[in-house]
Structure 1
């Protein structure tokens, strides 16, 4: 029994001595903490970069959706213009058919043509002006939809508005100009373009979207009360439109 106690005592002494001499390695060691901090930093940086990439992708997708929507609206507007011209031509033809006319002799026709003032307008003479107007507008639109050259598109639309103030494309040009300025966060300048569409072109197919954009600008500038007014105006005046759906979504987010 004494031998066992001695052995146990000796073992305890040896165990204590060995434990005292052993190096202390634990979670609280400086190397372990530094490693964990480095790992956490790597994870944080990776997540931050992923969020940045997602935000960039979202912004890019939003811009593409806006461009596609603009292209669709543009094509719809042009189709409406073509249909309206065809209706006008058909009405004119029907009216002419109902009114009998006696064409003048060839000599009288020639004399009438020679006596016509040089500056008078006729169909062949009006074609170049209309062609130039259409080409100028198409060029500005293509800078946005095809070339993605937004910096060049801004002055192109501004020139079009100045050169062809009576064009049926002017409200569209104001809207495109506002959209480009909005994308560049030039909110005050964009607001002036959208407000022009809303106030001066009541029948424009861009008016609902212009009111919506005024709401978005108000929100960006921190005026949620004004933004709410614009969103509610869209819902009130264009309740069944795509702009109304977006207005409701933004209204819910205020």
Structure 2
């Protein structure tokens, strides 16, 4: 009986093992030897593509940021340069004013351009108007205190002969003012404005007409000309300069209260304009002079 049981025992165990499922453990194999799942392979490829695109976009953003920073620095440099030019120009004019009492200005003393305009309609000749002083020694001359330049727009300036009658008329009048022929320039500016009231250079002509009147010590006409700039051409780049010169006229008329209003208006309404720099300097001088005037009274 025992012998029979021992004979059938191996068959019983082999039958039991036959029913157990086969389990293969891949953890003992290298990753490369593990069978690939098509779905996992596609997901991994898509993930790598997205990561590559993300890195490319980050690189492009960094490049754009660098360019923006570079442009911002260039703009800041231009603003600083522009402000320096205005300050230097104003100081030169103040020195000329102090020496010009009853003396005819040297025609070779022509001020350098002092501002940068970005509107084609605001383009001025590259030579500034000269300082002209009336021969009447009883009155102190008030020369033109600012001339507008066209740096960065040289390609848009051609000789007047190469342009239409609109531009020719404006430059002819401006050349007369630049040459010291104030009376002729006034007549030509007025003729230009009558013929081209909405012309390309009408706002400039209106402004320089006021400057020509100031040279001739006709403050009433100059005041009207500058006010016309504000009323007829409110979007002109000459508006802050016109307000500034209205303030200067009030300074000449010893009306410090009205002058202060105009100068503060330039600073508050056009804080980034070169005219605001000149207005600030003029205000400082008015404030410095005020205690002396009170002391005299």
Give TM-score, length-normalised by structure 2.
Answer: 0.46
Q: Check 1:53–1:76 CA distance in 2 against 1; reply closer, same or farther (3 A cut).
A: closer
1:14 matched residue in structure 2: none
| 2:175 is the counterpart of 1:131 | no
**Aligned pair partner of 1:141 in 155, 168, 174:** 174
Structure with greater helix percent: 1
**Aligned pair partner of 1:64 in 93, 110, 123:** 110
| 2:122 is the counterpart of 1:76 | no
Indicate conservation of the 8 Å contact 2:113/2:148, yes or no.
no
Within 5 A, what are the aligned runs for 1:79-118?
79=153, 82=156
| 2:246 is the counterpart of 1:214 | yes
- RMSD of Structure 2 on Structure 1 (CA): 3.4
Query: What is the CA distance between 1:137 and its match in structure 2?
Result: 1.0
Query: What is the CA distance between 1:82 and its match in structure 2?
Result: 4.5
Within 5 A, what are the aligned runs for 1:43-62?
55-56=99-100, 60=105
Count residues with an aligned counterpart.
156
**Aligned pair partner of 1:225 in 257, 265, 282:** 257
Q: Check 1:71–1:244 CA distance in 2 against 1; reply closer, same or farther (3 A cut).
A: farther
Q: What is the rounded CA distance, in whole Å, between the counterparts of 1:175 and 1:53 in structure 2?
A: 21
Q: What is the rounded CA distance, in whole Å, between the counterparts of 1:151 and 1:245 in structure 2?
A: 30
Structure number with higher relative contact order (C-alpha < 8 Å, ≥ 6 residues apart): 2
Q: Check 1:142–1:203 CA distance in 2 against 1; reply closer, same or farther (3 A cut).
A: same
- Runs of 5+ unmatched residues, structure 2: 1-95, 115-123, 127-146, 287-297
Query: What is the CA distance between 1:199 and its match in structure 2?
Result: 2.3
Query: What is the CA distance between 1:201 and its match in structure 2?
Result: 1.4
**Aligned pair partner of 1:177 in 199, 209, 216:** 209
Q: What is the rounded CA distance, in whole Å, between the counterparts of 2:152 and 2:192 in structure 1?
A: 17
Query: What is the CA distance between 1:56 and its match in structure 2?
Result: 2.3
Q: Check 1:224–1:156 CA distance in 2 against 1; reply closer, same or farther (3 A cut).
A: same
Aligned residue for 1:181, secondary structure, equals helix
1:141-198 per-residue CA deviation (whole Å, 9 max, x = no partner) reads 11122x3212211101000000111202111111101001011110010000001112
- Runs of 5+ unmatched residues, structure 1: 1-51, 84-127
Query: What is the CA distance between 1:59 and its match in structure 2?
Result: 8.5
2:223 matched residue in structure 1: 191
| 2:202 is the counterpart of 1:156 | no
Q: What is the rounded CA distance, in whole Å, between the counterparts of 1:194 and 1:233 in structure 2?
A: 15
Give TM-score, length-normalised by structure 1.
Answer: 0.53
Larger Rg computed on CA atoms: 2
